Structure 1
Amino acid sequence: MTLLSVKDMKTNIGQYSVLHGISFDVPEGGVFVLLGRNGAGKTTTLRSIMGLWQPSANSVSFQGQDLSGMGTADIARKGIAYVPENMGIFGGLTVEENLILATAKGTFDQKRLQRIYDLFPAIEKFWTKQAWSLSGGQKQMLAVARAIIEPRALILIDEPTKGLAPSIVAAMGEAFREISQSTTILLVEQNFNFARSLGRDMAVIEDGRVVHTGSMAGFAADTELQGHLLGLSA
Protein backbone atom coordinates (compact mmCIF):
# COMPACT_ATOMS: atom_id res chain seq x y z
CA MET A 1 0.00 0.00 0.00
CA THR A 2 1.37 3.42 -0.99
CA LEU A 3 1.48 5.84 1.93
CA LEU A 4 3.11 8.85 0.25
CA SER A 5 3.15 9.51 -3.47
CA VAL A 6 5.33 12.19 -5.07
CA LYS A 7 4.62 12.78 -8.76
CA ASP A 8 6.59 15.17 -10.96
CA MET A 9 7.22 17.53 -8.04
CA LYS A 10 8.84 20.82 -8.99
CA THR A 11 10.03 23.40 -6.47
CA ASN A 12 11.41 26.88 -7.04
CA ILE A 13 13.24 28.81 -4.35
CA GLY A 14 13.20 32.45 -5.34
CA GLN A 15 14.35 32.66 -8.94
CA TYR A 16 16.04 29.26 -8.83
CA SER A 17 14.50 25.99 -9.97
CA VAL A 18 15.73 23.34 -7.52
CA LEU A 19 13.52 20.32 -8.14
CA HIS A 20 12.76 19.55 -11.77
CA GLY A 21 10.24 16.71 -11.51
CA ILE A 22 10.72 14.39 -8.52
CA SER A 23 8.69 11.15 -8.55
CA PHE A 24 8.67 8.22 -6.12
CA ASP A 25 6.22 6.24 -3.99
CA VAL A 26 6.77 5.40 -0.32
CA PRO A 27 5.01 2.18 0.71
CA GLU A 28 3.50 1.87 4.14
CA GLY A 29 5.87 0.41 6.74
CA GLY A 30 9.64 0.20 6.97
CA VAL A 31 12.30 2.69 5.93
CA PHE A 32 12.45 4.38 2.52
CA VAL A 33 15.81 6.05 1.84
CA LEU A 34 16.56 9.03 -0.38
CA LEU A 35 20.18 8.96 -1.54
CA GLY A 36 22.21 11.40 -3.58
CA ARG A 37 25.30 13.55 -3.64
CA ASN A 38 25.48 16.85 -1.76
CA GLY A 39 23.26 19.47 -3.39
CA ALA A 40 21.19 16.93 -5.32
CA GLY A 41 17.89 18.15 -3.84
CA LYS A 42 17.23 15.67 -1.03
CA THR A 43 16.57 18.23 1.72
CA THR A 44 14.50 20.36 -0.63
CA THR A 45 12.39 17.28 -1.36
CA LEU A 46 11.64 16.76 2.35
CA ARG A 47 10.93 20.44 2.92
CA SER A 48 8.61 20.52 -0.09
CA ILE A 49 6.67 17.49 1.12
CA MET A 50 6.31 19.20 4.50
CA GLY A 51 5.04 22.43 2.94
CA LEU A 52 7.98 24.53 4.15
CA TRP A 53 8.60 25.30 0.49
CA GLN A 54 5.61 25.11 -1.83
CA PRO A 55 5.95 22.49 -4.58
CA SER A 56 3.94 22.37 -7.78
CA ALA A 57 0.23 21.64 -7.41
CA ASN A 58 -1.09 18.08 -7.29
CA SER A 59 2.41 16.64 -6.85
CA VAL A 60 2.23 15.25 -3.29
CA SER A 61 -0.44 12.98 -1.88
CA PHE A 62 -0.53 11.33 1.53
CA GLN A 63 -2.85 8.41 2.25
CA GLY A 64 -4.57 9.27 -1.03
CA GLN A 65 -5.18 12.93 -0.12
CA ASP A 66 -3.68 15.78 -2.13
CA LEU A 67 -1.51 18.06 0.05
CA SER A 68 -1.40 20.92 -2.48
CA GLY A 69 -1.52 24.35 -0.87
CA MET A 70 -1.56 23.05 2.69
CA GLY A 71 0.55 24.78 5.31
CA THR A 72 3.11 22.91 7.36
CA ALA A 73 0.91 22.81 10.48
CA ASP A 74 -1.99 21.28 8.55
CA ILE A 75 0.32 18.69 6.96
CA ALA A 76 1.65 17.78 10.41
CA ARG A 77 -1.91 17.26 11.65
CA LYS A 78 -2.40 14.69 8.91
CA GLY A 79 0.13 12.49 10.71
CA ILE A 80 3.51 13.53 9.26
CA ALA A 81 6.45 14.60 11.43
CA TYR A 82 9.70 16.19 10.28
CA VAL A 83 13.15 15.98 11.88
CA PRO A 84 15.31 18.55 10.06
CA GLU A 85 19.07 18.36 9.65
CA ASN A 86 19.47 21.11 12.28
CA MET A 87 17.25 19.01 14.62
CA GLY A 88 14.81 21.86 15.32
CA ILE A 89 14.96 21.67 19.12
CA PHE A 90 14.75 24.64 21.50
CA GLY A 91 18.08 24.98 23.29
CA GLY A 92 16.79 27.25 26.05
CA LEU A 93 14.05 24.81 27.06
CA THR A 94 14.42 21.61 29.04
CA VAL A 95 14.07 18.16 27.51
CA GLU A 96 10.63 17.91 29.12
CA GLU A 97 9.54 21.29 27.76
CA ASN A 98 10.71 20.40 24.25
CA LEU A 99 8.57 17.28 24.34
CA ILE A 100 5.56 19.10 25.80
CA LEU A 101 5.61 21.51 22.86
CA ALA A 102 5.43 18.54 20.49
CA THR A 103 2.28 17.12 22.10
CA ALA A 104 -1.20 17.94 20.85
CA LYS A 105 -2.68 18.81 24.25
CA GLY A 106 0.34 19.62 26.38
CA THR A 107 0.14 16.33 28.25
CA PHE A 108 1.95 13.04 27.78
CA ASP A 109 0.53 9.65 26.95
CA GLN A 110 2.48 7.66 29.52
CA LYS A 111 2.80 4.57 27.34
CA ARG A 112 4.32 6.60 24.52
CA LEU A 113 6.61 8.39 26.95
CA GLN A 114 7.82 5.09 28.36
CA ARG A 115 8.48 3.87 24.82
CA ILE A 116 10.69 6.92 24.28
CA TYR A 117 12.55 6.21 27.52
CA ASP A 118 13.13 2.65 26.33
CA LEU A 119 14.40 3.81 22.94
CA PHE A 120 16.47 6.70 24.24
CA PRO A 121 17.43 6.33 27.93
CA ALA A 122 19.21 9.72 27.79
CA ILE A 123 15.80 11.43 27.48
CA GLU A 124 14.80 10.25 30.94
CA LYS A 125 18.26 10.83 32.39
CA PHE A 126 18.43 14.46 31.23
CA TRP A 127 14.71 15.22 31.61
CA THR A 128 15.23 18.51 33.47
CA LYS A 129 18.36 19.64 31.59
CA GLN A 130 18.23 22.46 29.07
CA ALA A 131 18.58 21.13 25.54
CA TRP A 132 21.63 23.26 24.72
CA SER A 133 23.65 21.33 27.30
CA LEU A 134 23.11 17.96 25.58
CA SER A 135 25.67 16.30 23.34
CA GLY A 136 25.07 16.15 19.61
CA GLY A 137 23.83 12.58 19.83
CA GLN A 138 21.50 13.39 22.72
CA LYS A 139 20.07 16.36 20.81
CA GLN A 140 19.37 14.08 17.85
CA MET A 141 17.61 11.62 20.17
CA LEU A 142 15.48 14.47 21.51
CA ALA A 143 14.63 15.59 17.98
CA VAL A 144 13.44 12.09 17.06
CA ALA A 145 11.60 11.76 20.38
CA ARG A 146 9.67 14.94 19.57
CA ALA A 147 8.61 13.39 16.27
CA ILE A 148 7.16 10.26 17.91
CA ILE A 149 5.67 11.68 21.11
CA GLU A 150 2.34 11.72 19.23
CA PRO A 151 1.14 8.92 16.91
CA ARG A 152 2.48 9.49 13.39
CA ALA A 153 2.01 7.59 10.15
CA LEU A 154 5.17 9.01 8.55
CA ILE A 155 8.37 10.63 9.79
CA LEU A 156 10.71 12.56 7.49
CA ILE A 157 14.26 12.48 8.90
CA ASP A 158 17.12 14.47 7.37
CA GLU A 159 20.75 13.37 7.91
CA PRO A 160 20.34 11.98 11.45
CA THR A 161 23.87 10.52 11.74
CA LYS A 162 25.79 13.60 10.61
CA GLY A 163 28.67 14.27 12.99
CA LEU A 164 27.73 11.50 15.43
CA ALA A 165 30.08 8.97 17.01
CA PRO A 166 29.84 5.38 15.70
CA SER A 167 28.34 4.10 18.97
CA ILE A 168 25.57 6.71 18.79
CA VAL A 169 24.95 5.90 15.12
CA ALA A 170 24.53 2.23 16.02
CA ALA A 171 22.08 3.10 18.81
CA MET A 172 20.14 5.36 16.45
CA GLY A 173 19.91 2.54 13.93
CA GLU A 174 18.42 0.19 16.50
CA ALA A 175 15.89 2.84 17.50
CA PHE A 176 14.89 3.46 13.87
CA ARG A 177 14.36 -0.27 13.31
CA GLU A 178 11.97 -0.38 16.24
CA ILE A 179 10.17 2.82 15.23
CA SER A 180 9.72 1.61 11.65
CA GLN A 181 7.72 -1.39 12.87
CA SER A 182 4.79 0.97 13.52
CA THR A 183 5.68 4.22 11.72
CA THR A 184 7.02 4.61 8.18
CA ILE A 185 10.31 6.50 7.93
CA LEU A 186 11.42 8.53 4.91
CA LEU A 187 15.14 8.95 5.51
CA VAL A 188 17.70 11.22 3.85
CA GLU A 189 21.16 9.90 4.67
CA GLN A 190 24.72 10.35 3.39
CA ASN A 191 26.11 7.44 5.42
CA PHE A 192 25.53 4.63 2.94
CA ASN A 193 26.34 1.83 5.37
CA PHE A 194 23.75 3.19 7.80
CA ALA A 195 21.20 3.67 5.01
CA ARG A 196 21.56 0.18 3.57
CA SER A 197 21.32 -1.41 7.02
CA LEU A 198 17.87 0.10 7.47
CA GLY A 199 16.35 0.72 4.06
CA ARG A 200 13.83 -1.54 2.38
CA ASP A 201 13.22 0.69 -0.63
CA MET A 202 15.21 3.60 -2.02
CA ALA A 203 15.52 6.33 -4.61
CA VAL A 204 18.53 8.28 -5.86
CA ILE A 205 18.18 12.01 -6.58
CA GLU A 206 20.56 13.78 -8.94
CA ASP A 207 20.29 17.44 -10.00
CA GLY A 208 16.71 17.74 -8.78
CA ARG A 209 15.44 14.57 -10.45
CA VAL A 210 15.01 10.94 -9.41
CA VAL A 211 17.37 8.87 -11.51
CA HIS A 212 16.93 5.46 -9.89
CA THR A 213 14.40 3.65 -7.68
CA GLY A 214 14.30 0.10 -6.39
CA SER A 215 14.98 -2.13 -3.44
CA MET A 216 17.83 -1.25 -1.12
CA ALA A 217 19.04 -4.85 -1.21
CA GLY A 218 19.37 -4.74 -4.98
CA PHE A 219 21.13 -1.39 -4.97
CA ALA A 220 23.50 -2.44 -2.17
CA ALA A 221 24.53 -5.47 -4.24
CA ASP A 222 25.35 -3.39 -7.34
CA THR A 223 28.66 -1.67 -6.62
CA GLU A 224 28.98 -0.44 -10.20
CA LEU A 225 25.65 1.39 -9.95
CA GLN A 226 26.61 2.83 -6.57
CA GLY A 227 29.80 4.20 -8.05
CA HIS A 228 27.97 5.69 -11.03
CA LEU A 229 25.17 7.37 -9.05
CA LEU A 230 26.81 8.17 -5.73
CA GLY A 231 30.53 8.13 -6.44
CA LEU A 232 31.01 5.35 -3.91
CA SER A 233 34.12 3.24 -4.12
CA ALA A 234 34.02 -0.51 -3.60
Structure 2
Amino acid sequence: MSLLSIKDMSVDIGQYSILHGVSFEVQEGGVFVLLGRNGAGKTTTLRAVMGLWKPSPGSVRFRGEDISGLHTSDIARRGIAFVPENMGIFGGLTVAENMVLATASGKFDASRLERVYTLFPALKKFWDKPAGALSGGQKQMLSVARAIIEPRALILIDEPTKGLAPAIVDAMGEAFREISASTTILLVEQNYAFARSLGRDVAVIDDGRIVHTGTMAAFDADKDLQDRLLSLSAFQEDHE
Protein backbone atom coordinates (compact mmCIF):
# COMPACT_ATOMS: atom_id res chain seq x y z
CA MET A 1 0.00 0.00 0.00
CA SER A 2 1.26 3.47 -0.88
CA LEU A 3 1.77 5.91 1.96
CA LEU A 4 -0.03 8.64 -0.01
CA SER A 5 -2.29 8.03 -3.00
CA ILE A 6 -3.81 10.89 -4.99
CA LYS A 7 -6.47 9.83 -7.47
CA ASP A 8 -8.17 11.98 -10.12
CA MET A 9 -7.84 15.09 -7.93
CA SER A 10 -9.26 18.31 -9.34
CA VAL A 11 -9.28 21.68 -7.57
CA ASP A 12 -11.20 24.82 -8.50
CA ILE A 13 -10.38 28.10 -6.79
CA GLY A 14 -13.12 30.62 -7.45
CA GLN A 15 -13.74 30.65 -11.17
CA TYR A 16 -10.37 29.08 -11.98
CA SER A 17 -9.68 25.38 -12.49
CA ILE A 18 -6.19 24.76 -11.12
CA LEU A 19 -5.84 20.97 -11.00
CA HIS A 20 -7.33 18.58 -13.55
CA GLY A 21 -7.44 14.92 -12.52
CA VAL A 22 -4.07 14.75 -10.77
CA SER A 23 -3.01 11.21 -9.85
CA PHE A 24 0.23 9.87 -8.36
CA GLU A 25 1.41 7.69 -5.48
CA VAL A 26 4.10 8.29 -2.88
CA GLN A 27 5.75 5.19 -1.45
CA GLU A 28 6.96 5.15 2.13
CA GLY A 29 10.51 6.33 2.74
CA GLY A 30 12.83 8.71 0.94
CA VAL A 31 12.04 11.87 -1.00
CA PHE A 32 9.34 12.15 -3.67
CA VAL A 33 9.81 15.27 -5.80
CA LEU A 34 7.00 17.15 -7.54
CA LEU A 35 8.44 19.25 -10.36
CA GLY A 36 6.84 21.73 -12.74
CA ARG A 37 7.04 25.16 -14.22
CA ASN A 38 5.83 28.20 -12.28
CA GLY A 39 2.06 28.15 -12.01
CA ALA A 40 1.77 24.47 -12.96
CA GLY A 41 -0.15 23.53 -9.79
CA LYS A 42 2.57 22.24 -7.45
CA THR A 43 1.65 24.33 -4.41
CA THR A 44 -2.07 23.77 -4.96
CA THR A 45 -1.41 20.02 -4.90
CA LEU A 46 0.31 20.23 -1.51
CA ARG A 47 -2.41 22.48 -0.11
CA ALA A 48 -5.10 20.07 -1.32
CA VAL A 49 -3.36 17.15 0.38
CA MET A 50 -3.29 19.19 3.57
CA GLY A 51 -7.00 20.02 3.34
CA LEU A 52 -6.47 23.73 2.71
CA TRP A 53 -8.21 23.29 -0.65
CA LYS A 54 -10.91 20.68 -1.13
CA PRO A 55 -10.58 18.39 -4.17
CA SER A 56 -13.75 18.00 -6.20
CA PRO A 57 -13.82 15.44 -7.59
CA GLY A 58 -10.99 13.14 -6.61
CA SER A 59 -9.53 11.60 -3.48
CA VAL A 60 -6.48 11.77 -1.26
CA ARG A 61 -5.71 8.59 0.66
CA PHE A 62 -3.14 8.40 3.45
CA ARG A 63 -2.23 4.94 4.70
CA GLY A 64 -5.33 3.68 2.94
CA GLU A 65 -7.73 6.16 4.57
CA ASP A 66 -9.55 8.77 2.49
CA ILE A 67 -8.56 12.09 4.08
CA SER A 68 -9.84 14.40 1.36
CA GLY A 69 -12.87 15.48 3.39
CA LEU A 70 -11.04 16.07 6.67
CA HIS A 71 -10.13 19.37 8.27
CA THR A 72 -6.46 20.37 8.16
CA SER A 73 -6.04 19.83 11.90
CA ASP A 74 -7.35 16.27 11.62
CA ILE A 75 -5.00 15.57 8.71
CA ALA A 76 -2.08 16.86 10.76
CA ARG A 77 -3.02 14.61 13.67
CA ARG A 78 -2.75 11.61 11.37
CA GLY A 79 0.96 12.29 10.94
CA ILE A 80 1.32 14.78 8.08
CA ALA A 81 3.18 18.08 8.45
CA PHE A 82 3.33 20.99 6.01
CA VAL A 83 6.22 23.41 5.50
CA PRO A 84 4.76 26.16 3.28
CA GLU A 85 6.71 28.37 0.94
CA ASN A 86 6.20 31.36 3.26
CA MET A 87 7.63 29.20 6.11
CA GLY A 88 4.63 29.74 8.40
CA ILE A 89 6.58 30.89 11.46
CA PHE A 90 5.52 33.52 14.00
CA GLY A 91 8.04 36.35 13.83
CA GLY A 92 6.96 38.00 17.07
CA LEU A 93 7.50 34.83 19.10
CA THR A 94 10.80 33.31 20.13
CA VAL A 95 12.24 30.23 18.46
CA ALA A 96 11.28 28.25 21.58
CA GLU A 97 7.69 29.52 21.48
CA ASN A 98 7.40 28.66 17.79
CA MET A 99 8.54 25.14 18.57
CA VAL A 100 6.07 24.77 21.47
CA LEU A 101 3.20 25.71 19.18
CA ALA A 102 4.22 22.90 16.82
CA THR A 103 3.67 20.26 19.51
CA ALA A 104 0.36 18.73 20.55
CA SER A 105 1.17 18.77 24.26
CA GLY A 106 3.35 21.86 24.51
CA LYS A 107 6.23 19.70 25.72
CA PHE A 108 9.34 18.48 23.91
CA ASP A 109 10.63 14.96 23.77
CA ALA A 110 14.27 15.35 24.78
CA SER A 111 15.61 13.06 22.08
CA ARG A 112 13.67 14.80 19.31
CA LEU A 113 14.76 18.22 20.52
CA GLU A 114 18.38 17.05 20.51
CA ARG A 115 17.84 15.82 16.95
CA VAL A 116 16.64 19.30 15.96
CA TYR A 117 19.73 20.85 17.55
CA THR A 118 21.95 18.40 15.67
CA LEU A 119 20.34 19.13 12.32
CA PHE A 120 20.04 22.88 12.86
CA PRO A 121 22.60 24.12 15.42
CA ALA A 122 21.64 27.77 14.85
CA LEU A 123 18.26 27.17 16.46
CA LYS A 124 19.90 26.22 19.75
CA LYS A 125 22.00 29.39 19.60
CA PHE A 126 18.96 31.61 18.98
CA TRP A 127 16.50 29.59 21.08
CA ASP A 128 15.30 32.58 23.14
CA LYS A 129 15.49 35.14 20.32
CA PRO A 130 12.51 36.40 18.28
CA ALA A 131 12.02 34.29 15.17
CA GLY A 132 11.56 37.47 13.13
CA ALA A 133 15.20 38.38 13.81
CA LEU A 134 16.54 35.21 12.18
CA SER A 135 18.09 35.20 8.73
CA GLY A 136 16.12 33.72 5.84
CA GLY A 137 18.00 30.45 6.06
CA GLN A 138 17.51 30.21 9.82
CA LYS A 139 13.78 30.86 9.42
CA GLN A 140 13.60 28.01 6.93
CA MET A 141 15.44 25.78 9.40
CA LEU A 142 12.90 26.72 12.08
CA SER A 143 10.02 25.94 9.74
CA VAL A 144 11.39 22.46 9.02
CA ALA A 145 12.25 21.92 12.69
CA ARG A 146 8.62 22.63 13.63
CA ALA A 147 7.57 19.85 11.24
CA ILE A 148 9.86 17.24 12.81
CA ILE A 149 9.64 18.08 16.51
CA GLU A 150 6.98 15.37 16.79
CA PRO A 151 6.92 12.03 14.92
CA ARG A 152 5.53 12.42 11.38
CA ALA A 153 5.01 9.87 8.66
CA LEU A 154 4.97 12.45 5.85
CA ILE A 155 6.23 16.02 5.47
CA LEU A 156 5.10 18.25 2.60
CA ILE A 157 7.77 20.86 1.87
CA ASP A 158 7.21 23.70 -0.58
CA GLU A 159 10.21 25.46 -2.19
CA PRO A 160 12.59 25.22 0.79
CA THR A 161 15.67 26.61 -1.00
CA LYS A 162 14.05 29.67 -2.54
CA GLY A 163 16.26 32.72 -1.94
CA LEU A 164 18.80 30.86 0.19
CA ALA A 165 22.57 31.11 -0.10
CA PRO A 166 24.36 28.05 -1.57
CA ALA A 167 25.94 27.09 1.76
CA ILE A 168 22.53 27.07 3.45
CA VAL A 169 21.07 25.05 0.57
CA ASP A 170 23.82 22.45 1.05
CA ALA A 171 23.10 22.29 4.79
CA MET A 172 19.39 21.92 4.10
CA GLY A 173 20.11 19.05 1.72
CA GLU A 174 22.10 17.21 4.37
CA ALA A 175 19.28 17.72 6.87
CA PHE A 176 16.68 16.40 4.41
CA ARG A 177 18.75 13.29 3.75
CA GLU A 178 18.84 12.53 7.46
CA ILE A 179 15.13 13.28 7.92
CA SER A 180 14.08 11.16 4.94
CA ALA A 181 15.74 8.09 6.43
CA SER A 182 12.80 7.87 8.86
CA THR A 183 10.15 10.24 7.48
CA THR A 184 8.85 10.42 3.91
CA ILE A 185 9.21 13.82 2.25
CA LEU A 186 7.01 15.12 -0.58
CA LEU A 187 9.11 17.97 -1.94
CA VAL A 188 8.17 20.79 -4.31
CA GLU A 189 11.36 22.42 -5.56
CA GLN A 190 12.49 24.69 -8.40
CA ASN A 191 16.19 24.10 -7.80
CA TYR A 192 16.63 21.05 -10.01
CA ALA A 193 20.14 20.24 -8.78
CA PHE A 194 18.83 20.15 -5.20
CA ALA A 195 15.82 18.03 -6.18
CA ARG A 196 17.97 15.65 -8.21
CA SER A 197 20.39 15.12 -5.34
CA LEU A 198 17.59 14.06 -2.98
CA GLY A 199 14.79 12.54 -5.01
CA ARG A 200 14.08 8.84 -5.33
CA ASP A 201 10.87 9.25 -7.31
CA VAL A 202 9.49 12.16 -9.31
CA ALA A 203 6.27 13.43 -10.82
CA VAL A 204 6.05 16.34 -13.23
CA ILE A 205 2.95 18.52 -13.30
CA ASP A 206 2.09 20.87 -16.16
CA ASP A 207 -1.01 23.04 -16.45
CA GLY A 208 -2.63 21.20 -13.55
CA ARG A 209 -2.05 17.71 -14.97
CA ILE A 210 0.54 15.05 -14.18
CA VAL A 211 2.53 14.49 -17.37
CA HIS A 212 5.26 12.17 -16.08
CA THR A 213 6.00 9.86 -13.16
CA GLY A 214 8.98 7.62 -12.56
CA THR A 215 12.30 7.36 -10.78
CA MET A 216 14.47 10.43 -10.43
CA ALA A 217 17.44 8.50 -11.81
CA ALA A 218 15.62 7.71 -15.06
CA PHE A 219 14.28 11.24 -15.39
CA ASP A 220 17.70 12.75 -14.77
CA ALA A 221 19.21 10.54 -17.46
CA ASP A 222 16.72 11.73 -20.10
CA LYS A 223 17.79 15.28 -20.97
CA ASP A 224 15.32 15.56 -23.84
CA LEU A 225 12.44 14.69 -21.51
CA GLN A 226 13.63 17.23 -18.95
CA ASP A 227 13.81 19.97 -21.53
CA ARG A 228 10.42 19.10 -23.02
CA LEU A 229 8.60 19.00 -19.70
CA LEU A 230 10.43 21.69 -17.77
CA SER A 231 12.39 23.77 -20.31
CA LEU A 232 15.17 22.74 -17.98
CA SER A 233 18.11 23.95 -20.05
CA ALA A 234 16.84 27.53 -19.83
CA PHE A 235 15.91 27.07 -16.17
CA GLN A 236 19.38 25.86 -15.28
CA GLU A 237 20.98 28.82 -17.04
CA ASP A 238 18.87 31.15 -14.89
CA HIS A 239 20.16 29.48 -11.72
CA GLU A 240 23.86 29.32 -12.53
TM score, norm. by length of structure 1: 0.99
1:189 paired residue number: 189
Report the Cα distance in structure 2 between the residues aligned to 1:68 and 1:167, rounded to whole angstroms.
38
Letter in 1 for 2:214: G
Alignment of 1:1-234 (within 5 A): 1-233=1-233
Is contact 2:8-2:57 (8 Å) kept?
no
| 2:49–2:68 Cα contact (<8 Å) kept | no
Residues 10, 58 of structure 2: 8 Å contact kept: no
The one-letter amino acid paired with 1:213 is T
Task: Write the deviation string for residues 122-178 of structure 1: whole angstroms up to 9, x where unpaired.
Answer: 110100010000000000000000000010000000000000000000000000000
Distance in 2, Cα, partners of 1:14 & 1:73 = 23
Corresponding letter in the other structure for 1:151: P
Mark the runs of 5 or more structure 1 residues left unpaired by the alignment: none
Give aligned-pair identity as a percent: 76
> Alpha-carbon deviation of 1:57?
4.8
Partners of 1:68 and 1:176 lie apart in 2 by 27
What is the CA–CA distance in structure 1 between the aligned matches of 2:58 and 2:105, rounded to whole Å?
Answer: 32
2:56 & 2:105 partners in 1: Cα distance? Answer: 33
| One-letter code aligned to 1:122 | A
Count of residue pairs brought into register by the alignment? 234
What is the RMSD computed on CA atoms of the aligned residues? 0.9
Counterpart CA distance in 1 for 2:57 and 2:118 is 41
Asked if 1 retains the 8 angstrom alpha-carbon contact of 2:6 and 2:22, the reply is yes
**What TM-score, normalized by structure 2, do the two folds share?**
0.96
Distance 2:173 2:54 in 1: 31
